[in-house]
């Protein structure tokens, strides 16, 4: 939830900067997204200020500021513990790299509005007088809940291809629709996304999935505008992959993925990406096997393992962090194990609950069920188990150490880990209740000089 005090302080600082610029004789307004959010009654994440003042004049008025894009008229101003981008009104001249203008010409507010991406982001607001400047029809599109490119959509997207992804994000996060001409321009030019850096695509994708009220519908809009096949062809390939109707009455794997994502509410990046990719291995593992009645059934053997390998490749391609990648891959690899929880040993269940990604895995399983057959039996079972041991230490210190196992006559090497793991499982199950009991068990089960089993593992004396 937004912090009201932080937001109020952020807005106060932006208001003070506008006041200081106006007092010095310059036009100055809030600009872009903060105006949109203000008119929608939403808290703004940041405040940008557009002004008639040239960069040198801004630096003179705010000595503690510094230039990050002086040639483009952009100065970072520090005010009351916050940092604001103050930019001189400008018109951009050419975008040879599909992102940065070749040069700029300092102008007035009307031309500055015309260079921006969407009409709802092309508004200016004077926080001192309450005046709104609208040169592009932004207020009408806010009222109509429409995302419309300013001017010619193809020209706006050629200036920065990321705007095509941003159009979908704005539509999804605000609950708006895409203007038909804007949507058609995106479909026509979607292949240009290949020119973007992986990091920029990743940033928009994660925001799309974590900030949208309905992440599944956001994904579907990405698909309907032709962008999904370009940035995530593995997910687009889920379309048309049939599933067993008794478990998946919703239809193919793609529709299931949409449904699963739509069960989420402002998820973490880990959970959102795990839900997005949890069944990405199904197309490669789909089999149709005959049944006793002469029909056939659909199977996806090892799809979780195959999907985990694919997820790792996808996230590496998107330049996700190692930590995020590892967490998502683990969730994808293990998402089917919840189907076995009612048959698991207590020690195995405890290990599941002790996993650092357990909370994410549990939410993935809940969304997976609600996005298909709707049964939450296994979810409720493992949730109740986790709650029943919440008061206990989920990861008690083991009774035995490697020195204890060595002292019992076990030679150094991999056999040490075997006996430590076996003792810890019995401890978690409550079958070894103290260190003396554990030592006595070890002495009984592994007397000095006992030979290793012929298969390289110690003989399993304890029934599992």
Q: Where are the beta strands (DSSP E) in 270-424?
A: 287-290, 296-299
> Where are the alpha helices (H) located in 358-413, listed in sequence order?
358-370, 377-388, 402-407
Sequential pLDDT tens for the chain (464 residues): 456 667 778 999 999 999 999 999 999 999 999 999 999 999 999 999 999 999 999 999 999 888 877 677 899 999 888 999 999 999 876 666 555 666 678 899 999 999 999 999 999 999 999 999 999 999 999 999 999 999 999 999 999 999 999 999 999 999 999 999 999 999 999 999 999 999 999 999 999 999 999 999 999 999 999 999 999 999 999 999 999 998 899 999 999 999 999 999 999 999 999 999 999 999 999 999 988 888 889 999 999 999 999 999 999 999 999 999 999 999 999 999 999 999 999 889 988 998 889 999 999 999 999 999 999 999 999 999 998 877 665 678 898 998 998 888 888 887 888 899 899 989 888 889 899 999 999 988 875 555 444 344 444 433 33
Q: Which two tokens stand for residue 28?
A: 């100055």
| Model confidence, pTM | 0.82
448 three-state secondary structure: coil
Evaluate the CA torsion angle 110, 111, 113, 114 in order and state its sign.
positive
Torsion angle (degrees, nearest 10) of CA 386, 375, 262, 304: 70
Question: Cβ distance 145 to 120 under 8 Å?
Answer: no
Q: Which two tokens stand for residue 74?
A: 């952009």
Distance between first and last Cα of the chain: 48
């Amino acid at each position: 939830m937004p912090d009201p005090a932080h937001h109020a302080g952020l807005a106060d600082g932006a208001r003070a900067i506008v006041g200081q610029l106006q007092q010095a004789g310059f036009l100055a307004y809030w600009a872009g997204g903060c105006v949109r959010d203000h008119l929608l009654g939403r808290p703004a994440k940041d405040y940008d200020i557009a002004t008639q003042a040239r960069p040198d004049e801004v630096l003179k008025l705010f000595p503690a500021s510094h230039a990050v894009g002086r040639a483009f008229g952009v100065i970072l101003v520090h005010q009351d513990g916050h940092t604001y981008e103050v930019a001189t009104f400008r018109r951009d001249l050419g975008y040879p790299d599909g992102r940065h203008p070749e040069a700029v010409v300092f102008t007035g507010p009307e031309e500055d509005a015309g260079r921006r991406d969407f009409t709802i982001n092309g508004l200016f607001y004077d926080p001192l007088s309450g005046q709104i400047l609208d040169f592009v029809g932004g207020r009408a599109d806010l009222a109509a809940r429409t995302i419309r490119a300013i001017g010619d959509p193809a020209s706006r997207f050629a200036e920065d291809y990321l705007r095509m992804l941003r159009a979908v994000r704005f539509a999804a996060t605000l609950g708006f629709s895409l203007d038909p001409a804007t949507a058609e321009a995106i479909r026509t030019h979607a292949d240009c996304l290949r020119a973007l850096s992986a990091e920029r695509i990743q940033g928009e994708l994660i925001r799309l999935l974590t900030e949208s009220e309905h992440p599944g519908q956001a994904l579907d809009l990405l698909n309907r505008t032709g962008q999904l096949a370009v940035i995530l062809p593995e997910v687009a390939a889920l379309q048309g992959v049939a599933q067993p109707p008794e478990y998946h009455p919703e239809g193919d794997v793609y529709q299931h993925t949409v449904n699963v994502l739509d069960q989420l509410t402002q998820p973490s990046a880990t959970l959102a990406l795990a839900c997005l990719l949890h069944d990405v291995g199904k197309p490669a593992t789909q089999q149709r096997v005959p049944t006793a009645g002469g029909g056939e059934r659909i199977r996806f053997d090892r799809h979780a393992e195959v999907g985990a390998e694919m997820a790792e490749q996808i996230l590496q391609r998107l330049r996700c962090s190692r930590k995020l990648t590892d967490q998502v891959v683990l969730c994808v690899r293990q998402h089917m194990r919840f189907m076995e929880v009612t048959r698991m040993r207590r020690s195995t269940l405890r290990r599941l609950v002790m996993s650092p990604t357990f909370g994410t895995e549990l939410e993935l399983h809940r969304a997976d069920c609600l996005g298909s057959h709707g049964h939450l039996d296994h979810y409720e079972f493992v949730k109740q188990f986790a709650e029943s041991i919440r008061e206990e230490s989920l990861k008690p210190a083991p009774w035995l150490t490697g020195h204890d196992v060595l002292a019992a006559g076990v030679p150094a090497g991999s056999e040490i880990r075997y006996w430590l793991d076996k003792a810890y499982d019995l401890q978690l199950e409550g079958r070894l209740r103290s260190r003396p009991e554990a030592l006595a068990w070890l002495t009984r089960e592994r007397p000095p000089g006992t030979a290793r089993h012929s298969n390289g593992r110690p003989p399993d004396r304890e029934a599992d």
